[in-house]
Amino acid sequence: MDSQEMKAAVRQFLARSLRGHTLGDDDDIFSLGLVHSLFTVQIILFIEKTFHVELEVSELKIEQISSVNKIVELVQQELKN
């Protein structure tokens, strides 16, 4: 899966989860006030299931999953490891 396909999958997940709010690839979903703390767990589960990567939650920083581009960046980094 290339980065454009990854971005499309992340956008689709966020649009569904955020009730259709349209976000730019660099929009910070947490600073926009559209999500709650439990949503962090949902994002992590989505990433692990969709991209088949295992994340160390204790080492994860909220900034790493705060936008479409950052999520894709994290996934690509994890796939290299």
- Reading the block at residue 15, the tokens are 């649009």
What is the reported pLDDT for 10? 96
> Total structural domains in the chain?
1
What is the reported pLDDT for 36? 77
Give the domain range for residue 34. Answer: 3-80
∠ CA 41-31-48, rounded to 5°: 25
∠ CA 60-61-66, rounded to 5°: 115
Is the Cβ–Cβ distance between 71 and 48 less than 8 Å? no
Measured from the Cβ of residue 28, the count of other Cβ atoms closer than 10 Å reads 14
CATH of the domain at 69: 1.10.1200.10
Contacts of 8 (CB under 8 A, 6+ apart): none
pLDDT digits (tens, 9 = 90+) for 26-71: 999 888 877 777 888 999 999 999 999 999 888 899 899 999 999 9
